[in-house]
Amino acid sequence: MKRMTMIEAIRSAHDVAMEKDEKVVVFGEDVGFFGGVFRCTAGLQEKYGKSRCFDTPISELGIVGTAVGMAAYGLKPVVEIQFADYFYPAYDQIASEAARLRHRSAGQFTCPLVIRMPTGGGIFGGQTHSQSPEALFTHVAGLKTVIPSNPKDAKGLLLAAIEDPDPVIFLEPKRLYNGPFDGHHDRPVTSWKKQEESDVDEGYYTIPLGKARIVQQGSDITILAYGTMVHVAQAATKQANIDAEIIDLRTLLPLDIKTIEKSVKKTGRCVVVHEATKTSGFGAELCAIVQELCFYHLEAPIARITGWDTPYPHAQEWDYFPGPKRLAKALLNTMETK
Amino acid sequence: MKRMTMIEAIRSAHDVAMEKDEKVVVFGEDVGFFGGVFRCTAGLQEKYGKSRCFDTPISELGIVGTAVGMAAYGLKPVVEIQFADYFYPAYDQIASEAARLRHRSAGQFTCPLVIRMPTGGGIFGGQTHSQSPEALFTHVAGLKTVIPSNPKDAKGLLLAAIEDPDPVIFLEPKRLYNGPFDGHHDRPVTSWKKQEESDVDEGYYTIPLGKARIVQQGSDITILAYGTMVHVAQAATKQANIDAEIIDLRTLLPLDIKTIEKSVKKTGRCVVVHEATKTSGFGAELCAIVQELCFYHLEAPIARITGWDTPYPHAQEWDYFPGPKRLAKALLNTMETK
Amino acid sequence: MSEPIKPLSLHVPEPGCRPGDEPDFSDFEIPKAGQTRMPEIDAEPQDMRDMAFSIIRVLNKRGEAVGPWAQYLDVDRLKQGLEHMMILRALDNRMMSAQRQGKTSFYLQSLGEEAVACASQMALQKGDMNFPTYRQAGLLIANDYPLEMMINQIYSNKEDPLKGRQLPVFYSAKEYGFFSISGNLGTQYSQAVGWAMASAISGDNKIASAWIGDGSTSESDFHAALVFASTYQAPVILNVVNNQWAISTFQGFASGNAPTFAARGHGFGIPSLLVDGNDYLAVYAVASWAAERARRGFGPCLIEHVTYRAGAHSSSDDPSAYRPAGEGAIWPLGDPIERLKNHLIALDAWSEERHEQKSAQVLDQVKQAQKASEAIGTLTSGAHASARNIFEDVYETMPPHLVKQRQEAGC
Amino acid sequence: MSEPIKPLSLHVPEPGCRPGDEPDFSDFEIPKAGQTRMPEIDAEPQDMRDMAFSIIRVLNKRGEAVGPWAQYLDVDRLKQGLEHMMILRALDNRMMSAQRQGKTSFYLQSLGEEAVACASQMALQKGDMNFPTYRQAGLLIANDYPLEMMINQIYSNKEDPLKGRQLPVFYSAKEYGFFSISGNLGTQYSQAVGWAMASAISGDNKIASAWIGDGSTSESDFHAALVFASTYQAPVILNVVNNQWAISTFQGFASGNAPTFAARGHGFGIPSLLVDGNDYLAVYAVASWAAERARRGFGPCLIEHVTYRAGAHSSSDDPSAYRPAGEGAIWPLGDPIERLKNHLIALDAWSEERHEQKSAQVLDQVKQAQKASEAIGTLTSGAHASARNIFEDVYETMPPHLVKQRQEAGC
Ligand SMILES: Cc1ncc(C[n+]2csc(CCOP(=O)(O)OP(=O)(O)O)c2C)c(N)n1
Ligand SMILES: Cc1ncc(C[n+]2csc(CCOP(=O)(O)OP(=O)(O)O)c2C)c(N)n1
Ligand SMILES: [Mg+2]
Ligand SMILES: [Mg+2]
């Protein structure tokens, strides 16, 4: 066990995966010599050589397109898109190619590929370093979508993603890289180094895709969250002084519907929270599923607390970010209803 | 008034728009000399000249990228993506650029741009000529998304889209180009030419974006549909012999929430139907909104009848397509619940 | 300059002739067969820039193989090549009819450009991988892929190896070095480069051969592929099939102001060759040269195959709306089957009679396959792969939500 | 060849030196100033391919302007140019400190490459439009955009013309011919071509000037822009600023096996020029030539500006992790300010003393602007545009769902 930041945990996942399986290759913009702008791949090139960890031209399309070809060859590419905001040029390769290769070739060709990208805001990155595009992946059949909320999960889920025989989108909440940010931007953040929960096994372990984690048990209301919002949910719960059950979804697709259903049937109330824009965000899917499965148990409408339907602003970051105050208000509101 | 197919109505919209405003320019793959693979722009190059209607290289990125520049210059580009399945290479220009230009430049630069694309299946087009990507646009703040279901609406909505000062995605259900297809693929389709409802004004008229149309009044259940599914809904209603209220949304964003809310509050039941894959489809957003606004009026969970979460198949097209049989079953099911 | 400035106007390219015009290729410059040089296999790209501007041709008007590139093939292989092209043409012919008869939804033929894929395949080895578009069926035929399997795919019948999922002609045949075809133009190009990089990373000797049409070179993947191929010196052949037309759009929209597509390679330091795509021997020679170069670690090559799409774009298209009907007949590089036939005759290894016999035999072979396939079923007759197949292979293991949907679908 | 085939291996480019190495540019070939020819303004692209391989330089080591390109600027404009570059450098300096002091979240400077944007802007006319990246602040300064407005944007304060929405230095200034900057690399390139096409469609005489970095040429928009510019002969200048580095990635990953970025134009029949980006006179001359060419309807040009990013990539970056610290100091094309200063001194129009005076004056000017701006506020002090601004300008008219969300946000 070693106390790791999320960056260190991700680096460690790469390391043990490359150690274990020489088919694992790692590349992306600034990923090789420098080790990534967030340093998630630092040291790998030195350790495993330039043909297993290398820099690329600045072409997200080229990164994913070549990775699809490599995966079809039999390698296991783990590539980085420098910020999730920059996945768009690669979308055709992701949605039309990686996601459908197994199906359209009736299993002749497969695409075991991991596409990592730092996601979310909270770092004053403005509209092109803050986006949360998860819903653009969950709508695409053939992809799996994962978002960890802490170092331990990050490593175990990333290793599971690398083992997975299909393409996995791995979204890393960049605001959590160094410490568990709960949305109180005016308070200092303590590093993961000071959190017990960030004791990470230095060896090889996986956390299965498709299994949610109950962050805290509760009986009044269920909060569905992932990534940074898991921590915001904890803060909001305290602030609202409510006995909430917080579920960290961890994998958005496949979704752990059973855990969700069980919880909402128990609490009878549900709030969904994410940073992405509201309309057609992943929260909509969660609402649709929950109302379908738990209709007769719901005592209040399911509320969505999300980013606004606008570009992510720079100076007004904290007016945009769905922080604990907004969430606490929604919790109390949902509790009061009916 | 003239009886027009949807293709003719769309062509007529281009014609009167170009006639009225010389800033309107029309381009895309095979759009110029040939008049488009679906002939929606036939005759325009001859009438308005090669610098107002022209063919392009096969680059959806280039089509939209140059259109953004032209719109910023002050022109009104109306461009065609040959099939909606091919918008992906242009997604960065659509989502990161067209959609955000006004906001990020604080109104200095704007992007009055219409991007037309044939959408949906039912023509044995396989996975790359059948997709319905509307939810990938509704999630992007700054875009409007429109889908007509008949020739009259197609023309009026397209003219409204061209007048609109912001970027509009205009999805044309290709299965409706020639006649109102209700999902009974085993029965002959009568041409629009034989339908009274396809009498189209030959002059200039608009149908405002953001206003739904009540296709038929009903008291038992509300069906939310758009595009081809409007016709499927009519067939399914007959088949199920139910007094359903069918709402043709026409514009997905901005959405006519008032009309939806009023209807569901009246009927107490709601079924949502679309061709796109289910997870994170636009139906999820509709469910989320309806359960929020009509929670206390709902007598049964809102059902979603959609394409499966798989690529769109070729030979099994009718197993994939959410036809009247599946919808009728869902209607009866939702009626029986509780 | 102090002349007054005139208002600008938009330049929009226009092909030489349109329906109603007399077809005319007099602007089209073609060097004589045998004139274009052959560089050393490891020549530096900058020392062979001329190769992008002068068409490599082997077969002259009299059917003789001449010049530095005329050196590779014996008569048996030539006959084999001729047969491949004849099979392809016969298959195209039958399938175009089958489509009109409603046995399938769609078809797309190689008419007039059969040599490009057929000859290129002969230059590859087992283990190499093609990343084709929809117009390279010749790769399969030249690699002895069973015709019946092709037709099963076209008919989406129960034996379709792709289980009815894909549009007709969107084959996939891993064992035959043929990558799954995508409907999205261009995407295979960067994938091919990645596959080739993977071979290099793995210390193997396999090479990739990527295919793209003239029109599709405008797509972004073309650029990404050239960038990555150049940077990592990937062992890949980047084929551009310039058949003069996209759908209704002539190649001038894609090439713009450039003299050739081959010239695109220069900005990337990629050796680029221009070849007479209707000259089986030239295509084979150039493909072999490029394959050898790649396999020996000298990096990628770009090959522009100059040919003509003699038929419609697809079964959904009618070219008489945008180009003169007689254009194909006067195409200056002729017909690939005729030219190889004449060569064999010039070598005294073939005759008109034998050719007719072969035609009949080939037609018979195709008919047999078609019959066998029709006995299984067509799109509209007989069963196809069941609805259950929609849900399979989306993932290796079907996740719960898909299991549920499959149940909902009643299968 | 019959030598045995060796296993392939992946070629991964590597810069000449890394931290710890002695910096070294001895491989970098530079022609003497004045040696590269000047083609006619309407020369055919194929007659000027050589221009993509030989750097156009005007200022020689002694500070004299020599050769065919040395003809455009009088002393007053030269002094103006020097001042622009000095202002830019002073601003960068102050803002880098301001960032470290927490007055803004981010900054990005032009250190070492000031001539590129400053001189290029002088070649444009009112009505023309630049489509810049984040490293062309020189365009604004050379066009007399108020410094205070720039700083207001950098500070996201209440007077920020972009209302706090954009990342610092992502300016937009329509009236100054400066298009809104996007964070997504490359997107502006095809937009610039579209803007230029619109000018041609409208029968106007405005031209566009597009900007991209060496690293970003790998993005798809670069390709789309070249295709469309070539096909429609759009009146656009396609600038590539080759400052040798992306972030930690040297230009060899983007250029691959190609000798220059300028060579990329050849595959599109676009005239392509290579210019010493640290030579104010050369940049101005080349930009004027290209602007004239475009404005007169002779179509697009590609210009590669050869320069060196002397500072960090941005305030978030530390280059000592990936390149030797001393590299900038020995960069063979020198410093643009020094070189123009020396030229003016050689012309007897300037002196070290006047230069120092000017430095002080310029610094004062920047400090004044900064002070004024700080009086309004910085990112962390004073008010910025209110939360209400998030919801405005998403659409021209706020749709109901946004009105509702704005109310929910309490504003
Ligand atoms: C991304 C994308 N855009 C558009 C199309 C529609 N389309 C199919 S084939 C074709 C023309 C391709 O021309 P070319 O590349 O020259 O190939 P050819 O058909 O001549 O072999 C077009 C525009 C597509 N399939 N994919
Ligand atoms: C689409 C996209 N991918 C990646 C990035 C991250 N990024 C920002 S700047 C940069 C390097 C750009 O290098 P270059 O084009 O040479 O410009 P320079 O910074 O040298 O001026 C990268 C990779 C981005 N902003 N956008
Ligand atoms: Mg073609
Ligand atoms: Mg750079």
Nearest CA-CA distance, residue A52 and chain D, Å: 9
Residue ranges per domain, chain C? 45-379, 386-411
Mutate to test the interface with A, among D223, D381, D390, D401 (most CBs of A within 10 A): D390
Q: Which one from A14, A103, A129, A184 is the annotated catalytic residue?
A: A129
Question: Residue holding tokens 């990635």?
Answer: D249
D192 CA from centroid of ligand 1 (Å): 26
Fold of the domain built from segment(s) A213-336: Rossmann fold (3.40.50)
Neighbours of C367 (CB within 10 A): 13
What whole-number distance in Å separates Cα of residue B205 and Cα of residue D379? 48
C380 CA from centroid of ligand 3 (Å): 30
- With a CB cutoff of 8 Å and minimum separation 6, the contacts of C209 are C120, C124, C128, C129, C130, C131, C192, C236, C237, C239, C287, C291
Give the pLDDT confidence of B108-128 residue by residue, as tens digits. Answer: 999 999 999 999 999 999 999
Return the ligand number nearest the Cα of D314.
2
Given a cut of 50, the residues of chain D with pLDDT beneath it are 1
- With a CB cutoff of 8 Å and minimum separation 6, the contacts of A46 are none
As a whole number, the mean pLDDT across chain B is 97
Helix orientation angle between C187-201 and A60-73, rounded to the nearest 10 degrees: 60
The pLDDT, as a whole number, for residue D133 is 98
What whole-number distance in Å separates Cα of residue A62 and Cα of residue D221? 13
The tokens of C108 are what?
């797309």
- With a CB cutoff of 8 Å and minimum separation 6, the contacts of C399 are A210, A253, A254
CB A309, CB B171: distance < 8 Å: no
The tokens of C75 are what?
């008569």
Give me the DSSP letters along D275-298.
EETT-HHHHHHHHHHHHHHHHTT-
Does residue C389 register a pLDDT over 90?
yes
As a whole number, the mean pLDDT across chain C is 96
B 129-168 residues with CB < 8 A to D? 141-142, 144, 165-166
CA-nearest residue, atom 19 of ligand 2: D246
What does DSSP assign to residue D356? H
Same fold, A2-200 and A213-336: yes
Nearest CA-CA distance, residue A50 and chain B, Å: 30
Counting from 1 in the atom list of ligand 1, the atom nearest the Cα of C184 is 26
What superfamily in CATH does domain B2-200 come from? Thiamin diphosphate (ThDP)-binding fold, Pyr/PP domains (3.40.50.970)
For residue C257, the chain D residues in CB contact (below 8 A) are 45, 230-231, 233, 268-270, 299
Give the pLDDT confidence of C99-128 residue by residue, as tens digits. Answer: 999 999 999 999 999 999 999 999 999 999
Counting from 1 in the atom list of ligand 1, the atom nearest the Cα of B89 is 1
Mutate to test the interface with D, among A58, A75, A117 (most CBs of D within 10 A): A58
Q: Which amino acid is at C305?
A: H
How far is residue B135 from each of residues A88, A309, C194, measured CA to CA in Å? 15, 14, 31
For residue A247, which phi and psi values (nearest 5 degrees)?
-110, 125
Neighbours of C365 (CB within 10 A): 16
Question: Residue holding tokens 């990005």?
Answer: D108
Chains adjacent to D (≥3 CB pairs closer than 8 angstroms): A, B, C
Residue ranges per domain, chain A? 2-200, 213-336
Q: Which amino acid is at D158?
A: K
Residues with beta carbon inside 6 Å of ligand 2? Answer: A 29, 58, 60, 82, 86; D 135, 183-185, 213-216, 241, 243, 245-247, 309, 313
For ligand 2, mutation pick of D169, D216, D218 (most atoms within 8 Å of CB): D216
The tokens of D341 are what?
């200063």
CB D405, CB A309: distance < 8 Å: yes
Q: Which amino acid is at B246?
A: I
The pLDDT, as a whole number, for residue B59 is 98
What whole-number distance in Å separates Cα of residue D71 and Cα of residue D58? 9
Per residue, what are the HEC states of C69-103? Answer: CCCCCCHHHHHHHHHHHHHHHHHHHHHHHHHHCCC
Chain B interface includes C168 (CB < 8 A): yes
Chains adjacent to B (≥3 CB pairs closer than 8 angstroms): A, C, D
> Could A65 and C184 be called an inter-chain contact, meaning their C-beta atoms sit closer than 8 Å?
no
Q: Which one from C309, C323, C339, C343 is the annotated catalytic residue?
A: C309
Give the pLDDT confidence of C289-327 residue by residue, as tens digits. Answer: 999 999 999 999 999 999 999 999 999 999 999 999 889
Q: What is the pLDDT along chain A (338 residues), one digit of tens a residue?
A: 999 999 999 999 999 999 999 999 999 999 999 999 999 999 999 999 999 999 999 999 999 999 999 999 999 999 999 999 999 999 999 999 999 999 999 999 999 999 999 999 999 999 999 999 999 999 999 999 999 999 999 999 999 999 999 999 999 999 999 999 999 999 999 999 999 889 999 999 999 999 999 999 999 999 999 999 999 999 999 999 999 999 999 999 999 999 999 999 999 999 999 999 999 999 999 999 999 999 999 999 999 999 999 999 999 999 999 999 999 999 999 999 86
Q: Which amino acid is at B88?
A: Y
> Could C201 and A65 be called an inter-chain contact, meaning their C-beta atoms sit closer than 8 Å?
no
D 85-144 residues with CB < 8 A to A? 105-106
> Could A210 and C231 be called an inter-chain contact, meaning their C-beta atoms sit closer than 8 Å?
no
Does residue C3 register a pLDDT over 80?
no
**C48-61: average pLDDT:** 97
Picking from B66, B102, B107, the nearest residue to D194 by CB comes out as: B66
Neighbours of A318 (CB within 10 A): 17
Helix orientation angle between D147-155 and D352-376, rounded to the nearest 10 degrees: 50
D 148-167 residues with CB < 8 A to B? 161-163, 165-166
Counting from 1 in the atom list of ligand 2, the atom nearest the Cα of D186 is 1
How many alpha carbons lie under 13 Å from residue B327 in its C-beta half-sphere?
A: 36
Per residue, what are the HEC states of chain A? Answer: CEECCHHHHHHHHHHHHHHHCCCEEEEECCCCCCCCCCCCCCCHHHHHCCCCEEECCCCHHHHHHHHHHHHHHCCEEEEECCCHHHCHHHHHHHHHHHCCHHHHCCCCCCCCCEEEEEECCCCCCHHHCCCCCHHHHHCCCCCEEECCCCHHHHHHHHHHHHHCCCCEEEEEEHHHCCCCCCCCCCCCCCCHHHCHHHEECCCCCCCCCCCCEEEECCCCEEEEECCHHHHHHHHHHHHHCCCEEEEECCEEECCCHHHHHHHHHHHCCEEEEEEEECCCCHHHHHHHHHHHHHHHHCCCCCEEEEECCCCCCCCCHHHHCCCHHHHHHHHHHHHHCC
Give me the DSSP letters along C252-295.
HHHHTT-S-SGGGGGGGT--EEEEETT-HHHHHHHHHHHHHHHH
What whole-number distance in Å separates Cα of residue A172 and Cα of residue A147? 6
CB B85, CB B128: distance < 8 Å: yes
Nearest CA-CA distance, residue C61 and chain B, Å: 35
ipTM: 0.98
The pLDDT, as a whole number, for residue A197 is 84
C319 CA from centroid of ligand 1 (Å): 15
C 379-398 residues with CB < 8 A to A? 392-396
Nearest C-alpha in B relative to D232 = B56
Report the residue count for chain D.
Answer: 411
The pLDDT, as a whole number, for residue C2 is 60
Mutate to test the interface with B, among C155, C160, C165, C221 (most CBs of B within 10 A): C165
How far is residue A228 from each of residues A143, A218, A275, D151, measured CA to CA in Å? 22, 20, 8, 32
Query: Is the bond preceding residue D324 a cis peptide, omega within 30 degrees?
Result: no
The pLDDT, as a whole number, for residue D248 is 97
**CA B115 distance to own-chain centroid:** 11
Class assignment of domain D45-379?
alpha beta
Nearest C-alpha in A relative to D212 = A58
Neighbours of C350 (CB within 10 A): 20
The pLDDT, as a whole number, for residue D179 is 98
Q: Which of helix, strand or coil describes residue B61? A: helix
The pLDDT, as a whole number, for residue D2 is 60
Give the pLDDT confidence of B189-248 residue by residue, as tens digits. Answer: 999 999 988 999 999 999 999 999 999 999 999 999 999 999 999 999 999 999 999 999
Nearest CA-CA distance, residue C157 and chain D, Å: 39
Helix orientation angle between D280-295 and D114-122, rounded to the nearest 10 degrees: 40
The tokens of D293 are what?
């060419």
What whole-number distance in Å separates Cα of residue D289 and Cα of residue A65? 39
**B137-165: average pLDDT:** 98
Query: What torsion do the CA atoms of B43, B45, B47, B51 make, to the nearest 10 degrees?
Result: 170
**B133-147: average pLDDT:** 98
How many alpha carbons lie under 13 Å from residue D4 in its C-beta half-sphere?
A: 2
C217 CA from centroid of ligand 1 (Å): 10
Counting from 1 in the atom list of ligand 1, the atom nearest the Cα of C314 is 19
What whole-number distance in Å separates Cα of residue B332 and Cα of residue B337? 9
pTM across the whole model: 0.98
Please state whether beta strands D236-242 and D301-306 pair in parallel, antiparallel, or not at all (unpaired). Answer: parallel
Nearest C-alpha in A relative to B95 = A88
Nearest CA-CA distance, residue B106 and chain C, Å: 30
How far is residue C286 from each of residues B129, C144, C283, measured CA to CA in Å? 35, 22, 5
CB C339, CB C280: distance < 8 Å: yes
Does residue C401 register a pLDDT over 50?
yes
Neighbours of D44 (CB within 10 A): 12
The tokens of C37 are what?
């040089």
- With a CB cutoff of 8 Å and minimum separation 6, the contacts of C208 are A69, C128, C129, C130, C131, C192, C193, C195, C196, C199, C234, C235, C236, C237
What whole-number distance in Å separates Cα of residue D184 and Cα of residue C375? 55
Residues with beta carbon inside 6 Å of ligand 1? Answer: B 29, 58, 60, 82, 86; C 135, 183-185, 213-216, 241, 243, 245-247, 309, 313
Does residue C1 register a pLDDT over 70?
no
Counting from 1 in the atom list of ligand 2, the atom nearest the Cα of D242 is 16
What does DSSP assign to residue B115? E
Does residue B337 register a pLDDT over 90?
no
CB D393, CB A309: distance < 8 Å: no
Q: Which of helix, strand or coil describes residue D273? A: strand
CB A164, CB A209: distance < 8 Å: yes
Residue C388 bears catalytic tag: no
What whole-number distance in Å separates Cα of residue A236 and Cα of residue A326? 8
Give the pLDDT confidence of D209-252 residue by residue, as tens digits. Answer: 999 999 999 999 999 999 999 999 999 999 999 999 999 999 99
Give the pLDDT confidence of B287-326 residue by residue, as tens digits. Answer: 999 999 999 999 999 999 999 999 999 999 999 999 999 9
A143 CA from centroid of ligand 2 (Å): 27
String of b and e for A172-181 (b: at least 16 CB within 10 Å)?
A: bbbbbbbbbb
String of b and e for D248-278 (b: at least 16 CB within 10 Å)?
A: bbbbbbbbbbbbbbbbbbbbbbbbbbbbbbb
What whole-number distance in Å separates Cα of residue A169 and Cα of residue A140? 11
First to last CA, chain C: 76
**Beta-bridge mates of residue C209:** C130, C237
First to last CA, chain B: 48
